[in-house]
Amino acid sequence: MAGGDRVPDGIEPMLATPDRGRLPDAEKYAYEWKWDGYRAVMRIAPDGTTVLTSRNRIDFTPRYPELAGAFGAALGGRPAVLDGEIVALDESGRPDFGLLQNHGTSGRTVAYFAFDVLQLGAELLLGETYDERRKVLAGLEPPDPRLIVLTPSYSHAELAADGTGPQDLLEVAAERGLEGLVAKDRRSKYHPGRRSPDWLKHPLIRTLEVVVGGWRPGQGNREGTIGALLLGAHARDSGDLLYIGDVGTGFTRATLADLRAKLTPLERKTSPFANDVPRDRARDARWVTPKLVGEVVYRQFTPGERRLRHTAWRGWRPDKAPADVEVPLSQ
C-alpha cells in the first residue's frame, strides 16, 4: 500500500482456464458459481474510499456509484483488496447481463459478488492457499448484503457428505439461470494476471469475446441501421487480427442505436483483418478501427475455417481489451 489512508495498489486478477467441457471431479477442488457480470477488483482504503478496476484497468467506480463505500466502517479501518464480479439481478434474483449493460437506464442496482480476498490490513494474501483466503473472506461482514455478496464455495468433501457432486451442482446452476461453475484447487496460491490451470471454468453456454472490425448495413425492417457486425480475434501465434464470423441477431432497437453511435467515430477505409473476409460479407462492409470488444453466444466454432456459427449478440465488454481477445481453441 502506498500510504496510510490511500487506496491499496492494484492487483491484476487471476484468470481461469477453460476445462474443455470436462467438469473436474476430484477431492482437491472447491466449486463456485460462475457469475454473469463484469470482473472487477475492489480496492478499499482505510477511510472506506473504494475503487473498482476492470481486468484491463478501466475505472468502473463512476459507472457504479452505489458500490462506492459499500463496506462503510465494517473493515474497522483496514485497507482491503477483493476479487469478484459486478452483477445485476433481475426481479427474481437471477443475474441478467442485459440489465448490467443498460445499468444507466434500467434503474436496477448492481451488487459486487466477492469470491476472493487478496489483501486485508497490511498483509498481502497472494501466497496463502485458496482455503486460507476463503476463511479470511468469510470473516468479513458487509453492512448491506444487497450491495456486497460473499459468494459461496462448496468443497468436494462437503458435496460428497451431502450425497451430491459437482454435476449436481451444475444442474442447480442451470435451474437458477447461472452461467456455470468454476472449480478451484484448494491448495492453489493467487497468481495475479495469469491464466492458471488451478482454476477451471465450466460454462453452461458458449460465449466468446470478439473484436468488432466492421459492420454491414441492414435491409428490410433494419434498413438505415446495422444489419450485422463483422467479428475478429487475434491469432495465438502471430497476434494478427483475424476475421472469424459475423453476428446479426440479438439486437434491440436501443442496442442498434448504441452500436451506431459507438462505431461511427471509428470508421476507416480499409479492413482491419489480416485475412480475407468472404466477398459476400465484405462487399458492402463499413470498416472500423478495432478498439471495441463485445461478446456473442455461439453454437459452434469450426477449427478448419475458423468461423463462428449460429451467433447472437450479448453486449459490449468494456472490461476487456482488444489485445486479449484470441481465436478460440478447437472444441
The span from the CA of 192 to the CA of 198, in Å, is 13
Look up residue 30 and give its three cell numbers: 472447491
| E strand spans, the chain | 15-18, 29-34, 38-44, 50-53, 80-88, 110-120, 123-124, 148-150, 154-155, 180-185, 195-203, 207-217, 226-234, 241-247, 267-268, 286-288, 293-297, 300-302, 307-309, 312-316
What are the grid coordinates assigned to 295, written together?
Answer: 461478446
Active-site entry in 34, 184, 201, 320:
34
Gap between the Cα atoms of 309 and 219, Å rounded: 21
Using only C-alpha atoms, what is the Rg of the chain? 21
**34 catalytic, yes or no?**
yes
Q: Give the separation between CA 125 and CA 112, rounded to whole angstroms.
A: 20
Tell the residue number behind the cell numbers 455461439, with chain if given: 298
Do strands 267-268 and 241-247 pair parallel, antiparallel, or not at all (unpaired)?
unpaired
Task: Give the number of other Cβ atoms within 10 Å of residue 287's Cβ.
Answer: 20
E strand segments, 220-290: 226-234, 241-247, 267-268, 286-288
**Cα dihedral sign, 26-32-38-44:** negative
Distance CA 44, CA 75 (A): 9
Among the listed residues 277, 318, 323, the one whose alpha carbon sits nearest the alpha carbon of residue 101: 318
Q: Which residues are catalytic?
A: 34
